[in-house]
Amino acid sequence: MTNDPYAAEAARYDSMDYPRCGRWGLRLPRISLGLWQNFGGHHPLDRQRGIILAAFDMGITHFDLANNYGPPPGSAETNFGGIFARDLAPYRDEIIVSTKAGYYMHPGPYGEWGSRKYLLSSLDASLSRMGLDYVDVFYHHRPDPDTPIEESMMALDQAVRSGKALYAGISNYGPAETEEAARILAELGTPLLIHQFKYSMYERTPEDGLLDALDQVGAGSIVFSPLAQGMLTDRYLTGIPAGSRITHSQFLHEEQVTETYLARTSALNEIAAGRGQSLAQLALQWVLRGGRVTSALVGASSVAQLKANVAALDFPELTEAEIAAIEPHAVHGTYYA
């Protein structure tokens, strides 16, 4: 990545699809870039800049963050804000920036969960770190068992009415909680735009009512970890590479590479190979099948990896026969040791 002034690729919208988010007017790219990992203080800024600008050049208009993304917490927003100011500010009206609050951010009684105090102060801090006047989507990152859902939704409503966010979203809510959140927001006059949740061939909980709830309330959906944090790739089929994510991630462990995992993942890899694509590309197409998911979030440690993921959209949609062939191997909990 050079230091030359950035100019976006003129043909960036030619090959990306932008479905509407539920029944609302906002359109999201089928593939969005998540800054959960690889964009904190321990990763080279030139590499981060290269990935973010390459994403925009490929038609990825949506960049997903949260207050605690790093490490350290807040550093992903700070890094993104610097890159945005340097390169992307002229394109602000073409870019969707989302952030969240709900998980642990700082010590004390106002540093996590779902109080109005925490959510709104967190949004102000996120805007300051990114140097933005507003975010496009502000999420409550997880439900709070000790705070009435009304209070958390009132905070989202206030964020939108203040102009600091354009849309309200929720993340990691169950089906009943989603319906209740949507009902409260509708009464307040700030509709629920979107729900962000974990979904993959090996994480199928959303099929137990959540997708139906979103259809019912008319909200869009965006999934994180569609590749099961790299477990739905061929990375571990012949051993565990030195330095791979599973050797140092707090979310993955080498014990998860079981015989059952290897058998199912190998079978899925063979199906992908029969389509002339990688397992990662097959996994992305699978979560996007049928049009019930608006967008899939991918992370990336390199431009090449991002390009390979986006190339999943170039393959024919999965047929009913292919979906049926995948089904016996796409078992919930496969990578949970």
Q: What are 54-66's pLDDT values in tens digits?
A: 999 999 999 999 9
Residue 246's pLDDT is what?
A: 59
Residue 258's pLDDT is what?
A: 87
For the cut 70, the answer to whether the pLDDT of residue 248 exceeds it is no
Three-point CA angle 114, 65, 111, nearest 5°: 30
For the cut 70, the answer to whether the pLDDT of residue 271 exceeds it is yes
Alpha-carbon distances of 43 from 70, 78, 88, 126, 302, rounded to whole Å: 9, 13, 20, 20, 11
Q: What are 143-183's pLDDT values in tens digits?
A: 999 999 999 999 999 999 999 999 999 999 999 999 999 99
Q: What are 169-180's pLDDT values in tens digits?
A: 999 999 999 999
For 139, the 3-state DSSP assignment is strand
Q: What are 19-33's pLDDT values in tens digits?
A: 999 999 999 999 999
Residue 41's pLDDT is what?
A: 87
Residue 257's pLDDT is what?
A: 79
Residue 336's pLDDT is what?
A: 82
Q: Binning pLDDT at 50, 70 and 90, where does residue 254 land?
A: low
For 68, the 3-state DSSP assignment is coil
For the chain, what is the mean pLDDT? 94
For the cut 70, the answer to whether the pLDDT of residue 252 exceeds it is no
The share of the chain scoring above pLDDT 90, in percent, equals: 88
Residue 250's pLDDT is what?
A: 60
For 20, the 3-state DSSP assignment is strand
Q: Binning pLDDT at 50, 70 and 90, where does residue 255 land?
A: confident
The share of the chain scoring above pLDDT 70, in percent, equals: 94
Domain residue spans of the chain: 31-230+280-318
Distance CA 220, CA 211 (A): 10
Q: What are 68-108's pLDDT values in tens digits?
A: 999 999 999 999 999 999 999 999 999 999 999 999 999 99
Residue 87's pLDDT is what?
A: 98
Residue 12's pLDDT is what?
A: 98
Cβ contacts of residue 171 below 8 Å, gap of 6+? 100, 102, 139, 140, 141, 142, 195, 196, 197
Structural fold of domain 31-230+280-318: TIM Barrel (3.20.20)
Residue 335's pLDDT is what?
A: 85
Q: Binning pLDDT at 50, 70 and 90, where does residue 302 land?
A: very high
The DSSP annotation for 194-239 comes to EEEEE-BTTB-GGGTTHHHHHHHHT-EEEEE-TTGGGTTSSTTBTB
Name the more confident of 238 and 250: 238
